């Protein structure tokens, strides 16, 4: 079977994008991805188009968005669909594109991710409350932040993780986001530990700076067969490993453990196995820091540090831009923003840019191997991808 490579990856400016309509935001992501490719690609070159979009019906009164994307691109792909898997929609769509090429059904695939959340903040809040299990949990007051607050409290109890360590994740990610002009909070610049720790409480122990924001944005990636990738770019990026993991659990109350994510370990182990690599081979990573505690658990369950040592990992500066394993160089969901459908592909775009040496002030030196990890629900579903030059 053929190997698959990325030949282009781009993101729009994230943040409050009331300056553009939904279709204009889609078009902007297409323009961004095409700018990262050396050779002209025509709309009819795409025989696959997958569009990740979480909740356009609720947020933007627009359904059938894959068809809209085909119109925006001017493409007539024989494989086309919308993909929805909450916050991991982008990474799942990416895997659909990878599978389409791997199976021989497509030669060139455009994968797009989009969410325009600030158009209707009331709907956006509702949207975040209906991702958890509505029948058993949301009805009792569980939201994204109160669920992750339970996770944070339990991790603090089991492993001695501190509020200060969680705030350090935010300080690091805003430090990186201040170097990324596309980031939602680029203009905010760096933040101090005091500012992070003293911000208003959202759900004990998570305060404002422990949370990712509600954002608008889009991202796009173009995939093709590795054997023809160099026709389009001098710097194709190979997909070395890709895997999903899921727990048979929709809510937080019946997860096997809320502090040790079984589905993440499953996805990570499968991706490492496919890539024939181990955690110590990863040189840069984008992980799903929807809440600061998530990034700390991800250090552990991706195998970057031992169980319970995630707090120490950030405190020792290991995941800083100049640390042993820089994580969320883009600013992460915390500072770059989290437009649900766009997030997974934006993570991939950052790793592509790092591997190509195009990340400007946030570039990590001499990176050859990078990883992305994207979750949905209360960490019951994960996608892990590993990329190489």
Question: For ligand COA, which is the closer residue by CB, 214 or 250?
Answer: 214
214 is a site residue for ligand COA (CB under 6 A) = yes
Is cis: bond before 213, omega within 30 of 0? no
Question: For ligand COA, which is the closer residue by CB, 236 or 331?
Answer: 331
Q: Give backbone dihedrals phi and psi of 129, rounded to 5 degrees, phi first.
A: -85, -15
Q: With CB under 6 A as the contact rule, which of the stretches 34-42, 159-167, 211-219, 342-350 interacts with ligand COA?
A: 211-219
- Near ligand COA in 325-364, by CB under 6 A: 338
208 is a site residue for ligand COA (CB under 6 A) = yes
Q: How far is the CB of 333 from ligand COA (least distance, A)?
A: 7
Question: For ligand COA, which is the closer residue by CB, 35 or 200?
Answer: 200
- Near ligand COA in 255-314, by CB under 6 A: 290
Mark whether 184 is an active-site residue: no
Distance between CA atoms of residues 354 and 365, nearest Å: 9
Residues 6+ apart with CB under 8 A from 61: none
Is residue 60 a contact partner of residue 118, using CB atoms and an 8 Å limit?
no
Residue in 87, 159, 184, 211 annotated catalytic: 87
H or E element in which residue 370 lies: strand 369-376
Q: How far is the CB of 321 from ligand COA (least distance, A)?
A: 20
Mark whether 87 is an active-site residue: yes
Is residue 149 a contact partner of residue 294, using CB atoms and an 8 Å limit?
no
Q: How far is the CB of 160 from ligand COA (least distance, A)?
A: 25
Residue in 155, 159, 338, 382 annotated catalytic: 338
Distance between CA atoms of residues 169 and 163, nearest Å: 10
- Near ligand COA in 131-160, by CB under 6 A: 144-145
Distance between CA atoms of residues 325 and 260, nearest Å: 21
Mapped onto helix, strand or coil, the DSSP state of residue 221 is strand
Q: With CB under 6 A as the contact rule, which of the stretches 70-78, 151-159, 210-218, 255-263 interacts with ligand COA?
A: 210-218
Question: For ligand COA, which is the closer residue by CB, 262 or 338?
Answer: 338
What number of helices (H) and strands (E) belong to the chain? 13, 11
Tokens for 138, please give them.
Answer: 């949301």
Q: How far is the CB of 347 from ligand COA (least distance, A)?
A: 14
- Near ligand COA in 168-207, by CB under 6 A: 202
Question: For ligand COA, which is the closer residue by CB, 128 or 255?
Answer: 128
Distance between CA atoms of residues 114 and 65, nearest Å: 10
49 is a site residue for ligand COA (CB under 6 A) = no
Question: For ligand COA, which is the closer residue by CB, 144 or 264?
Answer: 144
Residues 6+ apart with CB under 8 A from 228: 107
Q: By C-alpha distance, which of 302, 321, 337 is closest to 115?
A: 337
Largest CA distance in the chain: 56
- Near ligand COA in 110-129, by CB under 6 A: 128
Cβ count within 10 A of residue 389: 13
Member of 87, 252, 284, 314 binding ligand COA (CB under 6 A): 87
Tokens for 275, please give them.
Answer: 């890539």
Question: For ligand COA, which is the closer residue by CB, 288 or 356?
Answer: 288
Is residue 18 a contact partner of residue 119, using CB atoms and an 8 Å limit?
yes
Member of 33, 49, 211, 348 binding ligand COA (CB under 6 A): 211
Q: Which residues bind ligand COA (CB under 6 A)?
A: 87, 128, 144-145, 202, 208-209, 211-214, 290, 338
Known catalytic residues are 87, 338
């Amino acid at each position: 079977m053929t190997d698959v490579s990325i030949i282009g990856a781009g993101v729009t400016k994230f943040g409050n994008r009331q300056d553009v309509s939904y279709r204009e935001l889609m078009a902007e992501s297409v323009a961004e991805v095409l700018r990262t490719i050396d050779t002209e690609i025509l709309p009819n070159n795409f025989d696959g188009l997958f569009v990740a979009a979480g909740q356009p019906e609720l947020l933007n009164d627009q359904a059938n968005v894959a068809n809209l994307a085909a119109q925006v691109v001017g493409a007539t792909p024989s494989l086309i669909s919308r993909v929805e898997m909450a916050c991991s929609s982008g990474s799942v769509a990416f895997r659909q594109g990878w599978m389409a090429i791997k199976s021989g059904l497509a030669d060139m695939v455009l994968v797009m991710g989009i969410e325009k959340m600030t158009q209707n903040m009331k709907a956006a809040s509702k949207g975040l409350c209906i991702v958890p299990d509505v029948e058993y949990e949301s009805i009792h007051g569980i939201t994204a932040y109160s669920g992750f607050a339970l996770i944070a409290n339990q991790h603090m109890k089991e492993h001695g993780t501190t509020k200060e360590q969680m705030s350090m994740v935010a300080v690091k990610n805003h430090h990186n986001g201040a170097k990324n002009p596309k980031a939602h909070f680029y203009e905010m610049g760096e933040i101090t530990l005091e500012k992070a720790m003293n911000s208003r409480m959202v759900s004990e122990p998570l305060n404002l700076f422990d949370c990712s924001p509600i954002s608008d944005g889009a991202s796009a990636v173009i995939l093709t067969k590795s054997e023809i990738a160099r026709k389009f770019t001098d710097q194709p990026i190979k997909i070395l490993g890709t895997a999903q993991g899921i727990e048979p659990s929709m809510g937080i109350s019946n997860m096997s453990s809320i502090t040790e994510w079984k589905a993440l370990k499953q996805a990570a182990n499968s991706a490492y196995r496919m890539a024939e690599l181990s955690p110590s081979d990863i040189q840069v990573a984008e992980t799903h820091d929807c809440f600061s505690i998530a990034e700390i658990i991800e250090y552990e369950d991706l195998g970057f540090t031992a169980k319970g040592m995630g707090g120490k990992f950030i405190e020792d500066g290991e995941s800083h831009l100049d640390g042993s394993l820089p994580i969320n160089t883009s600013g992460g969901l915390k500072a770059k923003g989290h437009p649900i459908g766009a997030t997974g592909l934006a993570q991939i775009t950052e790793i592509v840019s790092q591997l190509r040496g195009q990340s400007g002030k946030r570039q990590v030196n001499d990176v050859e191997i990078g990883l992305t990890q994207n979750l949905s629900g209360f960490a019951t579903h994960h996608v892990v991808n590993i990329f190489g030059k």
